[in-house]
Amino acid sequence: MPLVFTGTMTAVLVDVDTLAAELAAPAPPAVLDTRWRLLGPPAADDYRAGHLPGAVFVDLDAVWSGPPGPAGRHPLPAPAPLQAALRAAGVRAGTPVVVYDDGDGAGAARAWWTLRWAGHGDVRVLAGGFAAWTAAGAPVTGSVPAPPAGDFVVAAGGLPVLDAAAAAALATGPEGVLLDVRAAARYRGEVEPIDPVAGHVPGAVNLPVPALAGAALADPAGLRAAFARAGVRDGVPVGAYCGSGVAAAQAVLALHVAGRPDAALYVGSWSNWVADPARPVATGPTP
């Protein structure tokens, strides 16, 4: 019998034509430029060079995550500064939000996830990001907007979160799947370019994020098949982690597209796991 997902597929994507029409309407969505690069250069320079009309730049390191430390390189932001930053960007409780990045999906997915976790119920990602927007010949501006102050109130807990203990229980328990969405070589422990220890959470299943991002998001059936091959079954708890909770947000977004809005994010991810030397580390190609 084939594995199926019976959850409701969540509308998390918006295409260029639809967004362009919405921006021309009397009540447009708030648009946030979330371009980001792990190793630089600063994406704010790209924003100043050109962005979607009306878009406000919101930095991943400063807003969509808290200060790095034992909780991870991109831990959860504290509600108060997150709320202040979102209000400064013009985010309102009753107004839809669209986020975009260069098109790689990482920055936009983390922004989407953080907004949903913070309690905003209407957040979408621009499919293909800034690259798709410019490829379609849609307008770009260097003018920096000054939006009216928003009124959004952060209510943390809108999406499920895993800490280290919950991630371990999901990976090793009789029911549940913990997805490690890093590259296979990092999962196997052969290389670790960023964190001090190589390997993976014992029991985690490797499903590298490229199989879940980009064009794959337009194919819910294909996503469901990819998740099923990794052992994800309807009704069985599922969570995802990566190096620091950015790429794993792409996996959670893909799970929403595939009909699993209950998917949890281990925000601290590997950078939090290895902060405690007492936590076990597995290596090799199997969980």
What residues act catalytically? 242
Burial class (CB in 10 A: 0-12, 13-18, 19+), 262: middle
Give the H or E element holding residue 124.
strand 123-126
How many other CB atoms sit within 10 Å of the CB of residue 4?
Answer: 10
User: How many residues appear in the chain?
Assistant: 287
List Cα–Cα distances, 222 to 225, 226, 269, in angstroms. 5, 6, 26
How many other CB atoms sit within 10 Å of the CB of residue 217?
Answer: 23
- Identify the bridge partners of residue 178 per DSSP, sorted by sequence position: 239
CA-nearest of 207, 219, 224, 179 to 5 is 224
What tokens does 181 get? 């969405």
Burial class (CB in 10 A: 0-12, 13-18, 19+), 197: middle
Q: Are 126 and 108 in contact (CB under 8 A)?
A: yes
